[in-house]
Amino acid sequence: QVQLQQSGPGLVRPSQTLSLTCAISGDRVSSNSAAWNWIRQSPSRGLEWLGRTYYRSKWYNDYAVSVKSRITINPDSSKNQFSLQLNSVTPEDTAVYYCAREGDYDNSGYNAFYFDLWGRGTLVTVSS
């Protein structure tokens, strides 16, 4: 059974760095048919895709323009996990953060590009 286990602090001070980790069981972060995403959810912004990392003979990243200057998503093959770092946070970054898998193919082998697996979420509050 594939699972995503999130970890990281729930409180971050303004101007500091938000750091979360998503540990994968039952799949590989280096899979050639999945991408590993971070999404956040807040009452003001709703669900907001932040970025992803994926491996296709080499590592790639895609980031949302809104956070591109502040975000880093790194894979760690040795621990089979991936991480989110968001720098220079403000109270507007307060949200529930989710990691999620985007599968390229469905069970029939057809292109799917669906978010089929989500972590349980981590509430991160930015406050002094």
Partner 1 sequence: DIVMTQTPLSSPVTLGQPASISCRSSQSLVHSDGKTYLSWLQQRPGQPPRLLIYKISNRFSGVPDRFSGSGAGTDFTLKISRVEAEDVGIYYCMQTTQFPRTFGQGTKVEIK
Q: What is the DSSP letter of 91?
A: G
- Identify the residue among 27, 49, 61, 87 touching partner 1 (CB under 8 A): 49
- Identify the residue among 10, 57, 65, 128 touching partner 1 (CB under 8 A): 65
Q: Rg for the chain (alpha carbons), in Å?
A: 14
Q: Which of residues 7-36 bind partner 1 (CB under 8 A)?
A: none
All residues at 6 or more sequence positions from 92 whose CB lies less than 8 Å from its CB, including other chains: 44, 126
Q: Which of residues 92-111 bind partner 1 (CB under 8 A)?
A: 98, 102, 106-107, 111
Structure tokens at 85: 């770092």
Q: Which residue matches tokens 């970054």?
A: 93
Residues that bind partner 1 (CB under 8 A): 37, 46-49, 62, 64-65, 98, 102, 106-107, 111-116, 118-121
